[in-house]
Each structure stands twice: as C-alpha cells, then as structure tokens.
Amino acid sequence: MSSASTFAAPESNGQKSRSGGDPYQLGRDAGRDDGSTGRGSGGPAPKRIVVGYGFWIFILSDIIMFAAFFAAFAVLKDATAGGPSGMQLFDRRNVGVETVCLLLSSYTCGMASLAMLRKNQLWFHVAMLATAVLGAMFLGLEFKEFADLVSRGAGPSRSAFLSAFFTLVGCHGLHVTCGLLWLLTMMAQVFAKGFRDDILRRTMCFTLFWHALDIVWVGVFTVVYLMGVTT
C-alpha cells in the first residue's frame, strides 16, 4: 500500500498543474483549457503537423539533390569544349515569361489552399485549374527552348556545360511534370471524395511541393540564366 503510493504519481499533483500551470502561456496550444503546458508536452502533435514535417524532410532532401546539380553546373559553367556558351544560347525574354508563369502559379496554388480551408469546391477547382494551366505554360516554354537548343546542335552531348545545364533544368522540369500530374490527381480526389481529412493533408503536401519547386526555380534563373548571361 505504502510502496504503491510512493511510485505512483499523486493524484493531487496532476490537479494542481491543471489549474495553476503555465502562468506565462508557453504551452503549445495556449488557447485550449486542457492544461497542456510547456513545449511539446501537450500530447501528440496533430496529424496535419506530423505529415507536414515528414513531407518537409522529403523536400529538403530533394533540395539537397538540386544543390548537387547546382554545384555541378557552377563547376562546369566554362567547360564549353569549343561549343556555344550560355551567353550565345539563352533567350532572356523566354526565361522572364517562364518565371512569371511559375510565380503566378505559386500564388494561385496558395489561393487553392485557402479555398480548401474554407471547404469551397468551386474556388478550389478554379484556383487549381489556373495553377495547372500556368504550370503547363511553363513546361511548354521550357520544352520549346530545349527543342530549339537541340536543333541548333547544342544538345546535352555537345559539352560538359550543356550536359550540366540539361541535367539541372531538365530535372526541375521533370519535377514540375510530376507536380502537374499530382495536381490533377488532387483535383480529381477532391471532386470525387470531397474535403476529407486525409485528402486535405495530401493537398497540403502538394502545395508544399509546388512552392518548393518555385524556390528551386529562383535558384535556376539566377544561377543559370542571369549569371550565365552577364559573366
């Protein structure tokens, strides 16, 4: 009897922390009355947070992969093997339009996530469709540029510089293609199944992915196109 009471947490202690704990409002969920105190001690995080964290880790690993391609490009920038350099090849107007497309699609993707939180089917589909159209325009422009380069004899096998260029930019384009497929899948799922919790989480992951692609593109147009044309 006495040994049990020494090892078990006294009942009155728990009551006390419930009523008087957390005087400085440091709790993870300060608006709630369940007495959660301190960082991380308010029970398990909501699934939305955990899923977002896991997907964020994936995005970071993806960004590290892109960093390797960026490093390869930066090292091989001048290894043109007597072939054309970036200054002779790149059309900055084309790049500007591509950038505008991707930036606007990031914005409409944010609008879609707001519509999703309001559980508004119409606006969600409108915003996602706008995102898809802008993403497809980006891909079309990039494909046109690649086809143009290859037709001018500046394909990926011409020089180390062009190999690195096609790998880096092509890998980003491949990501955008996958993102477009995922976008259409999410539209179909929301249309068929409605705003279920699991579908909300999947769509949240998609918006994270799409915004991350825009961040990578900021690096691409700065390092590959603008710096390649000026220096």
Spatial distance between the Cα atoms of 49 and 31, rounded to a whole number of angstroms? 17
Is residue 199 a contact residue for other proteins (CB under 8 A)? no
Alpha helix positions (H), the chain: 2-7, 11-20, 47-76, 86-89, 92-117, 121-151, 160-193, 197-220, 227-230
Q: Is 172 exposed, middle or buried (0-12, 13-18, 19+ CB in 10 A)?
A: buried
Smallest distance from other proteins to CB 137, Å: 17
Cα gap 157→90, rounded to integer Å: 17
User: How does DSSP assign 147-163, residue by residue?
Assistant: HHHHHTT--TTS-HHHH
Instruction: By CB under 8 A, name the one of 49, 174, 178, 188 that touches other proteins.
Output: 49
Q: Does 87 bind other proteins (CB under 8 A)?
A: no
Q: Rule CB under 8 A: which of 93-122 touch other proteins?
A: 96, 99, 103-104, 106-107, 110-111, 114, 117-118
Q: Which is nearer to other proteins, 57 or 184 (CB)?
A: 57
- What are the residues binding other proteins (CB under 8 A)? 25, 28-31, 33, 39-40, 45, 49, 52-53, 56-57, 60, 63-64, 67-68, 70-72, 74-75, 92, 96, 99, 103-104, 106-107, 110-111, 114, 117-118, 208, 211-212, 214-215, 218-219, 221-223, 226-227, 229-231
